[in-house]
Amino acid sequence: MIVAAGFVLIAASGNSADREIYPDPSQARADLAVAIKTAAKTHKRVLIDFGGNWCGDCQVLDIYFHNELNRPILESNFVLVHVNVGHLDKNVDLADRYRIPLKRGVPELAVLSEGGKLLYSTKTAEFEKMQMVESSAVTQFLVKWKPTKPGCSAVMLTC
């Protein structure tokens, strides 16, 4: 399993240090404000990904977010915001606001309602060892936290 995740990371990114997933830490508040406005207009939830470009587990999580199974679920139901926490020393106040325990490491996730209310934040370290996790765990997470839409079943992936 570890080898498979490592292979995914290498194959998808070449050199993980070259992948700039997380913008400059100073952009976090503006990006989050835009995401909340977008979520309200589109009736989606906000998915906040706290991490850093140096973090291998963060790189794997992003690859899993954008694989062929998860991308449609993500794009249909969430507005994704990457919050750069530097080396666990930037945007600490945002992490605290959304009950993200940075002291345990990254990546960490928070899910907000379309109105910006905190619905969930990771507390059990389920994504902190992404190189040991199958992409199906990300699928399960996205399906569990996607908004409920009229006429849709909870098991429908892209509804």
- The b/e string for 64-93 (b: 16+ C-beta within 10 A; e otherwise) is bbeeeebeebbebbbbbbbbbbeebebbee
Global pTM reads: 0.85
The pLDDT, as a whole number, for residue 8 is 47
% the chain with pLDDT above 70 = 82
| pLDDT tens per residue across span 15-32 | 444 679 999 999 999 999
Backbone angles phi, psi at 80, to 5 degrees: -90, 130
User: In a 10 Å sphere around its CB, with 0-12 CB exposed, 13-18 middle and 19+ buried, how is residue 35 labelled?
Assistant: buried
| pLDDT tens per residue across span 105-156 | 999 999 999 999 999 999 877 777 888 888 999 999 999 999 987 656 555 5
Structural domains of the chain ordered from first start: 2-145 (3.40.30.10)
